[in-house]
Chain A
């Protein structure tokens, strides 16, 4: 079959060329990629950084590694950005040390039991119990906006911790994420992670309630099916 030349190669109309070029040159954004990776549960800051060559936020994140990140953390507030520093090490021992620091600074994770009153879907964590109440602390805000790559790194750290079987450690990291990024672009993905971590730590009732709240607020989300799997009665899930 003879193939006609593509219109873009054949056209002499500037308008036509502009239109065809617009159709051909469309690209996804960094945020789309990050959300997709997070939704698939394979978020990886390195993948995002490597894949988004032109991304300013990514490049700034790439520069903000190791010691520099720690400096940034201390400047902004160790607790608020701990998950980000946490992820930058990528070593179990240092993860554990950071988690210990977090544990010392944050209230203990509630071992079990329901979350009092259904929390907002992506509200700050309901997993921590009164102790020195979180609300009583001065709200720690990042001095600079947290980049998408940093958000992704925080979720990555929580997911990696959970993958090692430390669901409560993951909850602590998610607490940090919720305080640092209350309006984070990946907050829905973070909420799903929290629900999963609650379920894995034995707080199945709390997980179910949060999942129901999630579904009430985001019934059309692409993550709704995952949330729904946590609303099933015990035995309906594999874990």
Chain B
């Protein structure tokens, strides 16, 4: 299998992204040693590398976070959280494997954000945005906010396993081998999840289109 994302296989590298241990790590305080916080005691090379990560990958990180279920209102915080984790682990991230590290960390952070949302929803009463979705006509869908809201609703109804594969394949345009490697699952599982995710996606879009058409015909 080609290693397009060079994930460092050292133990310290394996912890944060993707797995349960890494997910738990997000809950812990992020203790950046003071000598790593102040420019006076940080070497310029480290700053340059960090700045390069932000400049090169901030859109990627934000997009992964958003499509993986992080609410828009939390994006700023979660992007910062992702890069702070990256800063803390910078010395463990091999040159060339930064994107993979950030991806796995972002997925991990997004999973944490989704759990927080789920807890909030347990408390809050369910609203009924389905009605909003169903009434959206193709014309209305040109409105970016409505489209984004509708996409969120569709993705939210997918299981997180299917959603992650769908997002990485359809939005990040990663190939199946890359996805398998990042998620540490067999390629066959990726293909299977993608198939099921697409069926779900198309079924929901079809339902919305059908409802919209029925409403227009009335």
Contact = CB atoms under 8 A, between A and B. Distances in A.
Interface of A: 1, 3-4, 6-8, 13-16, 18-24, 26-28, 31-33, 35-37, 39-42, 44, 47, 51, 159-160, 162-165, 196, 200, 221-222, 224-226, 228-229, 237-239
Nearest to B136: A15
A18 B51 contact: no
Contact of B37 (A21, A35, A226): A226
A120 B159 CA distance: 43
Nearest to A193: B38
A26 B55 contact: no
Interface in B71-118: 75-77, 79-81, 83-84, 87
B51 A42 contact: yes
Chain B at the A interface: mostly helix, strand, loop or mixed?
Answer: helix
Contacts of B39: 41-42, 159-160, 162-163
B87 A40 contact: yes
Interface in B144-160: 144, 147-148, 150-151, 154-155
Contacts of B142: 18
B191 interface: yes
B39 to A, nearest CB: 4
A24 B170 CA distance: 8
Contacts of B21: none
B84 A39 contact: yes
B121 interface: no
A37 B34 contact: no
Interface string B169-191: 11101011100000000010001
B4 interface: no
A127 B205 CA distance: 58
Given A22-B144, A27-B59, A36-B58, A239 B151 contact: no
Interface of B: 29-35, 37-42, 47, 50-51, 54-55, 58-59, 61-63, 66-67, 75-77, 79-81, 83-84, 87, 138, 141-142, 144, 147-148, 150-151, 154-155, 167, 169-171, 173, 175-177, 187, 191, 194, 198, 201-202, 205, 208-209
27 contacts: A6-B169, A7-B198, A14-B141, A15-B138, A16-B205, A19-B154, A19-B205, A24-B170, A24-B171, A26-B66, A28-B62, A28-B63, A35-B79, A36-B54, A36-B58, A37-B54, A39-B80, A42-B50, A42-B54, A44-B51, A47-B54, A160-B39, A196-B37, A200-B38, A222-B80, A225-B30, A226-B32
7 closest A-B pairs by beta carbon, nearest first, are: A28-B62, A163-B40, A225-B30, A163-B39, A225-B29, A23-B171, A26-B63
A3 B187 CA distance: 11
Q: Which of B33, B55, B173 has the most CB of A within 10 A?
A: B55
Nearest to A159: B39
B169 A51 contact: no
Given A23-B167, A40-B50, A229-B31, 5 more contacts: A28-B79, A32-B75, A36-B58, A163-B39, A196-B34
A238 B63 CA distance: 37
Contacts of A37: 51, 54
